[in-house]
Copies of this chain bind each other. A is one copy, B any other.
Amino acid sequence: MELTAEQKQEIKDQQSQSNTTKRVTSSELEKVLYEAIPVLDHGFIRVIDYMGDDSSIVQSARVSYGKGTKKVSTDEGLIKYLMRHRHSTPFEMCEIKYHVKLPIFIARQWIRHRTANVNEYSARYSILDKEFYLPAREQLAAQSLSNRQGKGEILDQKQADEVLKILKDDATRTYDNYEKLLNERFDGSKIDESKVGLARELARMNLTLNTYTQWYWKTDLLNLLNFLFLRADSHAQYEIRVYAEKMLETVKKWVPITYAAFIDYRVGAAEISAKGLNVIKELISGKKVNQEESGLSKREWNELMEVLDKKNLIVS
């Protein structure tokens, strides 16, 4: 990730602010405020603003549940209770805003999370940067044969070279042609003075889906955790997972108690179906169980055995 001199100056200016406020403040998050945290080859996330901290969650929960909640002696106890029982509204009382730079094909996944506010850089009004995502070699995996959704083995070096060459050549050529269509370069200089340029709203269609875009993305803590639960998961596509992982680090700085409860009760948890619970009960009582009689499909059975670290019981 290479920031322009202008961007660096903007970040420096933002970070040099020092305002006095009566609002609750998260001192650890303040330290990285506005910082451009690199993701992928040209992307980043930046925390631009936030509202509330762990104490805000406690404050609104105590309003909801009234005097009685004081019996839960500590803030930590209360937050763990709320997370465990999915009492979700108090977590909506915190808000955060990110500035994100990301490839368009990832932006298209991300935007499916609807409960957020978004302002995206518009290629209808402006010219997009000449920046596109090229995967690192170790991310170039083959299509999985067994699992349509996953990736399989890493490509060998020769095929990886071919792939990267194609991606780079096509992105470069289509971007150069994008400029030719616009008859204008990113800096605003004209290419051919005798010609007009195609409307930006049309020219952009020539770009490839690995072109970078950027946006401001604002959401509340509950919806952020739902996003991170899905996108920081090992089944998420690598290219969105790395964003989620960096964001998870900012959550840890911002609301450390909530972060810990989230890891224990959501990320590390497993949802076991009614039939799966029956299998567990039989296993605990020392009975023999097998997939055929369990009522679980092979796939469900194997998922359950993985959760229980019973690799010896996995069926094929």
Contacts and interface: CB of A to CB of B under 8 A. Distances in A.
Interface in A43-74: 49-52, 56, 59-61, 63-69, 71
A15 B215 CA distance: 35
A283 interface: yes
A283 to B, nearest CB: 5
Given A196-B142, A265-B273, A49 B56 contact: yes
A166 to B, nearest CB: 5
B284 A202 contact: no
A263 to B, nearest CB: 7
Contacts of A103: 205
Contacts of A231: none
A125 B142 contact: no
20 contacts: A18-B20, A19-B23, A22-B33, A23-B50, A49-B51, A51-B51, A68-B125, A77-B297, A89-B118, A93-B117, A114-B114, A114-B115, A140-B198, A142-B199, A143-B196, A152-B196, A204-B209, A205-B209, A218-B220, A267-B274
